[in-house]
Structure 1
């Protein structure tokens, strides 16, 4: 059943900034009107205001709940706000006055959370989090460089904090045991996912339903339910989760609100969703029909949503003459939350697709649809500003489009991505935007300013910078006291692209192979594996996994971490076919643009866990999934798209790790199938690093031929591929050298086993070996070429 409105709770006179719903019958809400309210369920779809808590003299930004205790049979409400005091109320509170006041923060208290044992953790603009037990300060958590916007008590002794410095920190008692980078904006929300880990977000509020589904609320007036294959990366506890992406096809339902922003969401044990909105209303949504509001209230709510006026920049600029009429709504939408605009007379309407009811829902009338008041046109869209940005002397300036209502971080990130510029420039571009827009906004209300972290409408930039060089911003809740943003925010550098080979082995970092004085057999017996250090679970952080898959992937990382750090003492618990099957399913399901972390994981699994994929059928599926991940069967052209080059590199490195010491090739059918598939790629389209990787695979297979007798069809196929590389390679000396040593192994084994190569291969080899030193005038290639010639 879809979620529908269950109840609308109206008593606050300003934005509802926080809600918590610890039981099916209790809701606590906090507002900018300086109060918190306790609401109790009266029947299936109704709640009544039971207590108004006078929680402070200024705006209240956070609320939490403590379970029943002596003196508080119905538990406690905990509130925090701009007066820096945390107030604790025993419920029910007849007078609405606090029983305890916790004093210690020196600035706005913007986050609260509690553990089952009664521990309270608070976060503040004073850059600290504090842990309280028995209403006394227990720990100061000091380490963030900017405001602590969100906190999460894992239990009474472990805590997570998220900050405007873009990081998440894990604390054990008062010690910071781990810091997680990854967000590019302030971390505003954390949610615990039972038996799995935690989720974090930047510009949304999040909560978790009892069935594991994710609920998010944001500044686009909506609440979204992400079900099944979530459009949200999930990580085990202790691993970072990045902010909510807009992946297609994974949002189960979108609930539009009649307000500017949904500031906060919470979930009840029964699966109902509670929201707090900028219009001052607390709302409850349910999938259970008996808890739905009466039909007339549901219609009134839909009419209220439909009556909203939406600025065009929120939906997307459009020319009225280009819009279809109402008949366009006869075609179903493609995904939950899809917005379609139609022309009805002189009015432009925005409709949103609701997958739960399979209908288009009107969400408002679009104003400014033809770009009135806009200044400049860029790439077919109108913007308030289109800046010329000089990034290189002598080169033409780059265009930076920006709307005054837009989050400058979003605009800056788009600009960097569109122009292939490093993300390390992000803060510099944001400062450029802020300096050159001077706080300009759209709209008639004096309060309508864009939060530089979230793009929200309550954050007013000042006109002058602070003494430290960073910008000062008005308090996002009052417009009064100031909050100083950092002058710079450290952005992790992007990983360097794969480099062409140099004097070092690109796989191990060791020096290049050296040839023996008498034969290539001695140097060629050592197979090459790809770099195996730094097993980092964050590699899986792009798309979601089902809980069982997530557990198996986490076990895989644990095993690899131990195997890499203690190679002589591998873990006793081995990986099984179930772990391989989980990787295969993700390789088959995730889009190829996001698949490279799995390709990298496969590279390590193939090196360290050969028994896990020894079953022939499973091994065949695994290899097929890897080739699929590299788009192997798609047409080849040069230059390769970057993502395809990356995935192909991981594929070839993975296969190089398959053929290691101890791998037996007596049943050569599967190996021959791999070589046949590798031979399908036109060699000249491969980059230098890909060529070296391919040559390494053939070199490793040739080493096996020194220890065991390869089936003749396999040996001949291997020789053909090696000769093709030697005949085609004109620029990459490392690929040529590895293929040359592989040819020496093949020739030596043929002589020792008295199984001569075919006459065609011998003739081709002699021609190649004669010409190779002229193409690559290196001593090692000249010397090995002579040695191999003597073996023919």
Structure 2
């Protein structure tokens, strides 16, 4: 990946609360607005009113939980662009953007409901020509023309659910599936199958000038040339990775079940952004900020720009949420309090960013993660007996 000198470490910019359940998808608009969707059946737009403040508007149009969102740039068919959302009510809701007026979203005006999939719509993307691409648990991807608001193609060939769909720079289309493969499509036909992942492939992102990036349940991030060569394979987690995005710096952001969003540069994890719950989705803004959607119902924005960083009070609230989370001992294979080191263990630096340690303090087992950017241990919470929520699916969470 690109050898680019980076600036400051990522710091919290803001926490956007409003959804009542998990934030399953996030997206970024060119004009600075953000979009999020949730299990609570709503889509929200977030319009910046300051460097760390946003105003929210709710879009109603789904009957059940919303699993994905995407932003379509302006096109001949929709000069103002569109926001797209998909869910398990088996329709895609297209909301026309009348920028910069946000009250159109408050009124919930629907431009179209595109019907055709038979199971949950779990992935969306679009191109500058005005076409929309959808991925579904029904093992297909569909192509939609918004000038006619109709389907113009269905891609069939995967053996399991199609989780993600991505248009390429050269006009091709890539799909990612639970059958552990990615497929390249041209003119509606599969012309290549990318093999390498050992579990469900969950997300795709364009890597300009090279090809695309994928991540999946095997905990790996892979960089592919369109021709088929795997240029990089990096195991960055022992848990599922749910979403991947590429920053303007050509770094890769990958989020997952281990409650983090990791930043990968040249194959190395250079930063780990901690969250109170599983991180279902990640997106990047044109300025290089990172937007995440978390299982705790909060959309978060992280930035390298000190001028947009959250104030001390907001950071304190964020850190308190991290510290108050409870981690199940089942997730880490059980903990013997008597064998744990004391607080003196925190005087030694971690071996790598995101490395974890469990110490004994106040009669409890406390989990910390090494923050290489700020050279300090961040508190993640305490270890409790019994099963927990948002865990590692039977895998080891801390190591």
Equivalent positions of 1:205-220 (< 5 A) are 205-220=243-258
Measure how far apart 1:313 and its partner are. Answer: 3.5
Aligned to 1:109: 121
Secondary structure, counterpart of 1:314 in structure 2: coil
Out of 22, 30, 39, the position equivalent to 1:15 is 22
Deviation readout 1:28-87 (Å, 9 max, x if unpaired): 1111111111111111111111x3111310111111111235786642111111111111
Match of 2:198 among 162, 184, 194: 184
Q: Give the 3 Å change call, closer, same or farther, for CA 70–121 of structure 1 in structure 2.
A: closer
CA distance in 2, matches of 1:58, 1:455: 32
Higher share in strand: 2
Give, in angstroms, the shift of residue 449 of structure 1. Answer: 9.1
Counterparts of 1:145-164 in structure 2, within 5 Å, are 145-155=159-169, 157-164=171-178
Deviation at 1:180, TM superposition (A): 1.7
* Distance (Å, rounded) in 1 between the aligned partners of 2:80 and 2:364: 52
- Following superposition, the deviation at residue 251 of structure 1 comes to 1.4
CA shift at 1:295, angstroms? 1.0
- Which residue in 2 is equivalent to 1:130? 142
- Name the counterpart of 1:253: 271
1 CA distance for matches of 2:120 and 2:170? 24
**DSSP-derived class of the 1:126 partner:** coil
Decide whether the 8 Å contact of 2:76 with 2:129 is kept in 1: no
TM-score (norm 1): 0.44
1:739-789 C-alpha deviation (Å, 9 max, x unpaired): xxxxxxxxxxxxxxxxxxxxxxxxxxxxxxxxxxxxxxxxxxxxxxxxxxx
Cα deviation for residue 264 of structure 1 reads 0.3
Report the Cα distance in structure 2 between the residues aligned to 1:8 and 1:74, rounded to whole angstroms: 28
What is the aligned counterpart of 2:356 among 317, 335, 339?
Answer: 339
Counterpart for residue 120 of structure 1: 132
Deviations 1:466-523 (A, max 9, x none): xxxxxxxxxxxxxxxxxxxxxxxxxxxxxxxxxxxxxxxxxxxxxxxxxxxxxxxxxx
Distance 2:333 2:196 in 1: 29
Assess if the C-alpha contact under 8 Å between 2:183 and 2:192 holds in 1. Answer: yes
Which runs of no fewer than 5 residues in structure 1 stay unpaired? 231-249, 374-441, 457-792
User: 1:262 is matched with which residue?
Assistant: 279
Cα deviation for residue 316 of structure 1 reads: 4.9
In 1, the alpha carbon distance for the partners of 2:321 and 2:11 equals: 14
Tell me the distance in 1 between the aligned counterparts of 2:75 and 2:216.
35
* Secondary structure of 2:316's aligned partner: helix
Pairwise CA distance, 1:318: 3.1
What's the CA shift for 1:182? 2.0
What are the superposed Cα offsets for residues 617-652 of structure 1, whole Å, 9 maximum, x if unpaired? xxxxxxxxxxxxxxxxxxxxxxxxxxxxxxxxxxxx
Between the aligned partners of 1:198 and 1:144, the Cα distance in structure 2 is: 19
Matches of residues 545-584 of structure 1 in structure 2 within 5 Å? none
Q: How many residues align?
A: 358
> Is contact 1:157–1:173 with CA below 8 Å preserved after alignment?
no
Contact 2:74 2:128 in 1 (8 A): no
Establish whether residue 81 from structure 1 lines up as the match of residue 87 from structure 2.
Answer: yes
Contact 2:332-2:396 within 8 A present in 1 as well: no
1:351 alignment partner in structure 2: 368
1:271 to 281, 284, 288: 288
Matches within 5 A, 1:20-35: 20-23=27-30, 25-35=32-42
Give the equivalent residue in structure 2 for 1:469.
Answer: none
Cα distance, 1:156 vs structure 2: 8.2
Inter-partner Cα distance in structure 2 for 1:455 and 1:96: 43
Superposed, 1:721-760 pairs within 5 Å as none
CA distance, structure 1, for counterparts of residue 249 and residue 346 of structure 2: 33
Q: Secondary structure at the match of 2:359?
A: strand
CA offset at residue 96 of structure 1? 0.8
Distance, in Å, in 1 between the alignment partners of 2:300 and 2:127 is 25
Contact 1:149 1:163 in 2 (8 A): yes
Higher fraction of helix: 1
Give the SS at the match of 2:198: coil
Closer, same or farther in 2 for the Cα pair 1:343/1:219, shift >3 Å?
Answer: same
Q: CA deviation at 1:307?
A: 1.3
Q: Distance in 2 between matches of 1:47 and 1:156?
A: 36
Give the structure 2 partner of residue 536 of structure 1. none
TM-score normalized with structure 2 length = 0.85
Q: Is 1:139 aligned to 2:165, yes or no? A: no
Contact 2:72 2:125 in 1 (8 A): no
Deviations 1:367-407 (A, max 9, x none): 23xxxx7xxxxxxxxxxxxxxxxxxxxxxxxxxxxxxxxxx
Aligned to 2:62, the other structure's residue is in SS state coil
Task: Return the alpha-carbon distance in structure 2 between the equivalents of residues 140 and 286 of structure 1.
Answer: 39
How far apart, in 2, do the equivalents of 1:309 and 1:177 lie?
Answer: 47
Provide the C-alpha distance between the structure 2 equivalents of 1:128 and 1:312, rounded to a whole number of angstroms: 39
The answer (yes or no) to whether the contact 1:16–1:277 under 8 Å persists in 2 is yes
Counterpart of 1:223? Answer: 261
Two-structure CA RMSD over aligned residues (Å): 2.1
2:63 matched residue in structure 1: 57
Q: 2:46 aligns with which of 25, 31, 39?
A: 39
Q: Please report how far the alpha carbon of residue 314 of structure 1 lies from its aligned counterpart in structure 2 after TM superposition.
A: 3.1
Q: Are the counterparts in 2 of residues 24 and 269 from structure 1 also a CA contact under 8 Å?
A: no
Which residue in the other structure is 2:96 paired with?
90
- Cα–Cα, structure 1 residues 286 and 449, in superposed 2: closer, same or farther, change >3 Å? closer
Q: 1:302 aligns to what SS in structure 2?
A: helix
Deviation at 1:317, TM superposition (A): 3.4
- Distance in 2 (CA, whole Å) between partners of 1:136 and 1:156 is 24
Q: 1:83 and 1:184 mapped to 2: Cα distance?
A: 30
Residue 341 of structure 1, CA deviation:
1.1
Q: 1:321 deviation in Å?
A: 1.1
CA distance in 1 between partners of 2:12 and 2:23 (Å): 17
RCO higher in structure (CA 8 A, sep ≥6): 2
Query: Which residue does the alignment assign to 1:460?
Result: none
Q: CA deviation at 1:183?
A: 1.7
In 2, the alpha carbon distance for the partners of 1:215 and 1:52 equals 27
Gaps of 5+ in 2: 1-7, 218-240
Q: Distance in 1 between matches of 2:117 and 2:370?
A: 45
Match of 1:545 in 2: none
Distance 1:73-1:6 versus aligned 2 partners, 3 A rule: farther
